[in-house]
């Protein structure tokens, strides 16, 4: 009998003592109370045509690092994202 693995989420964190980014996974059930109160950025799979491409990975990584920079100001000067606007949408200037 095959068991289904428990779902997990990944977290990107900044460790200022070691001056490094840390990526790890946690069981969804363990973090549910924290997620309920957390800042979230939703990425509906329908809007991505249910395709997790390299472009999606780049955009998701940029989003993750930008959120990390919100709460770790030391990282902000290091953020140098080079995102292209999704096809069919004009690129925002960042001044809006």
* 20-46 confidence digits (pLDDT tens): 999 999 999 999 999 999 988 899 999
Separation of alpha carbons 23 and 65, rounded Å: 12
Non-local (6+) Cβ contacts of 62 within 8 A are 81, 83
Q: Pairing state of beta strands 20-27 and 8-15?
A: antiparallel
- pLDDT above 90 as % of the chain: 66
Pick left, alpha or beta for residue 88 (phi over 0 → left; psi -120 to 50 → alpha; otherwise beta): left
Q: How many domains does the chain have?
A: 1
Is 50 within a domain? Answer: yes
pTM of the predicted model as reported, rounded to 2 decimal places: 0.71
Residue 87 in any domain: the answer is no
Long-range CB pairs of 55-61 (<8 Å, 24+ gap) are 55/84, 58/83, 59/83, 59/86
Which of the pair, 88 or 36, is modelled with greater confidence?
36
Residue 9 has pLDDT above 80, yes or no: yes
Longest dimension (CA), the chain: 56
pLDDT band at 90 (very low <50, low <70, confident <90, very high): very low
Q: Is 89 within the bounds of a domain?
A: no
Is 84 a member of any domain? no
User: What is the pLDDT, as a whole number, of residue 3?
Assistant: 80
Say if 21 falls within a structural domain.
Answer: yes
In-domain check, residue 2:
no
């Amino acid at each position: 009998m095959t068991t289904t693995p428990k779902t997990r989420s990944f977290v990107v964190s900044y460790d200022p003592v070691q001056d490094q980014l840390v990526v790890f996974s946690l069981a969804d059930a363990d973090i549910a109370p924290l997620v309920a109160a957390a800042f979230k950025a939703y990425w509906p799979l329908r809007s991505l045509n249910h395709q997790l491409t390299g472009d999606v990975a780049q955009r998701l990584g940029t989003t993750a690092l930008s959120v990390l920079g919100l709460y770790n100001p030391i990282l902000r000067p290091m953020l140098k994202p080079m995102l292209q606007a999704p096809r069919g949408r004009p690129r925002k200037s960042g001044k809006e």
